Amino acid sequence: MHKPVSKSADAHAAKVIVCADAAAASRTVANMIVAAVNANPSMVLGLATGGTPTATYANIVDDYRAGKVQFKDVTSFNLDEYIGLSGTHPQSFRYFMQSELFDHIDIDPNNTFVPDGDARDPDAHAIQYEAQIAASGGIDLQLLGIGHNGHIAFNEPGASPSTRTRVVELTPSTIEKNARFFASADEVPKTAITMGIGTILEAKKILLLATGDGKAEAVRRSLQEAASEAIPASWLEQHPDVTFVLDEAAASELVR
Ligand SMILES: O=P(O)(O)OC[C@H]1O[C@](O)(CO)[C@@H](O)[C@@H]1O
């Protein structure tokens, strides 16, 4: 049991699943996604990038190859993309999704949506992206990671729960953390297009995967402090169907 310490009376308690290690947490999330697709083969999936979900995607590819699931009628929307990187740039989130998941399953490429980091008018593109999500009928299941500073997608501290898909500036700490994927911090784009917190909160169901002790404080503050702009993931308390899937390390600061 995890006590929702200091949460407001109208907060929804997230479900929390603690797994022995990152591999088990990744497999748990893959199983949940595969089960959801099998229950609704034409579902709309919200997908995340970053280091955290790579093992989950590898597990999903394994299940696809084993004939346990098909994606031919699934539509996907990714959370975010760096501005200035085209989809062929190896550090773009479009490239990541192709190489980690889409190129290995039967999803229709026309039904995979990632914000276009190369859009001529990123503000207009963000509005169009929202319209595309709405036209799809909305996201059925949204996968999230969490940043060390509590960000979800690229909604950095300061983001309100009413934010929509838009252009944002990345914080120096996020740029520094993500520099590990680039040759140097100087190469990390300073701006991105991201779904807003309000956009994310409209998903019917939300799964947040966090692994490693570097995420322990952000996880604890999200689950056990009053929601505030200081920790964007804390706004998830406003959603009635959120599950945090953690490894022991990411769960290690929770008051149990
Ligand atoms: O999984 P990582 O690499 O720790 O990243 C944390 C979060 O930051 C992002 O990279 C920013 O969107 C997310 O993709 C991810 O959920």
Residue ranges and CATH numbers for the domains of the chain are 15-195+211-238 (3.40.50.1360)
Nearest-CA residue for atom 8 of ligand 1? 147
Minimum-distance ligand 1 atom for the alpha carbon of 214 = 4
Ligand 1 atom 6, closest CA? 147
> What is the ipTM for the molecules in this complex?
0.93
Does ligand 1 lie within 6 Å of residue 147's CB atom?
A: yes
| Residue in 49, 94, 182 to alter for ligand 1 test, most ligand atoms within 8 A of Cβ | 49
Contacts of 185 (CB under 8 A, 6+ apart): 175, 176, 179
Distance between first and last Cα of the chain: 6
pLDDT tens-digit map of 22-33: 999 999 999 999
Judge if the beta carbon of residue 232 lies within 6 A of ligand 1: no
CA of residue 212 relative to chain centroid, distance? 16
Is the Cβ atom of 156 under 6 angstroms away from ligand 1? Answer: no
d(CA 231, CA 152): 9
The CA 137 to ligand 1 mean position distance, Å, reads 26
117, 24 Cβ separation under 8 angstroms: no
Which residue from 26, 29, 47, 52 has its CB within 8 A of the most atoms of ligand 1, so it is best to mutate? 52
Does the beta carbon of 153 sit less than 6 angstroms from any atom of ligand 1? Answer: yes
Is the pTM higher than 0.90? The answer reads yes
Confidence at 217, pLDDT banded by 50, 70, 90: very high
- What average pLDDT does the chain have? 96
Task: pLDDT band for 10, please (50, 70, 90 cuts).
Answer: confident
β-pairing, 191-194 vs 141-144, is unpaired
Whole-number Å distance, alpha carbon 68 to ligand 1 midpoint, is: 28
Q: String of b and e for 210-233 (b: at least 16 CB within 10 Å)?
A: bbbeebbbbbbbbbbbebebebbb
The reply to whether ligand 1 has any atom less than 6 angstroms from the CB of 46 is no
Distance from the CA of 51 to the center of ligand 1, in angstroms? 7
Q: What digits encode the pLDDT tens for the residues 88-111?
A: 999 999 999 999 999 999 999 999
Active site residues per annotation? 80, 149, 151, 156
User: Do 168 and 152 contact (CB within 8 A), yes or no?
Assistant: no
Q: Are 139 and 133 in contact (CB under 8 A)?
A: yes
Residues 153 and 195: beta-carbon distance below 8 Å: yes
